[in-house]
Amino acid sequence: MTDNIEEKEIIKNVKRLVTAMEVVYNKPGIIFWRGFIRGVGYGLGATVGVAIVLLFLSWLASQLGGIPALTEWLNKFSKNLPL
């Protein structure tokens, strides 16, 4: 008896899920905006994450006395910049 009630509840929930999916997938604008917002969030998060890692690495390099090869390259690069 209990199995029959649980089975009916599962069938009811599956039907509700199918109905909800049909509503969403019949509106392509919702899918587009959801994907757009997700992409913007991912891009922003990746940018902020990379900025934090680079900030930490540059701070660590300055605490250790710098990286001579990088310092020389940056000095050459800055001399070639038109100011």
pLDDT in tens, 56-81: 988 888 887 777 777 788 788 888 87
Residue 2's pLDDT band (cuts 50, 70, 90): low
pLDDT of residue 57: 87
DSSP 25-82: HT-HHHHHHHHHHHHHHHHHHHHHHHHHHHHHHHHHHHHTT--HHHHHHHHHHHHTS-
Give the CA count within 13 Å in the CB-facing half-sphere of 5.
Answer: 2
For the question of whether the overall pTM of this predicted structure is more than 0.75, the answer is: no
The pLDDT of residue 49: 96
Q: Dump pLDDT digits (tens) for 5-59.
A: 888 999 999 999 999 888 878 888 888 988 999 999 999 999 999 999 999 988 8
User: Helix 2-25 vs helix 28-63: angle between axes, to the nearest 10 degrees?
Assistant: 90
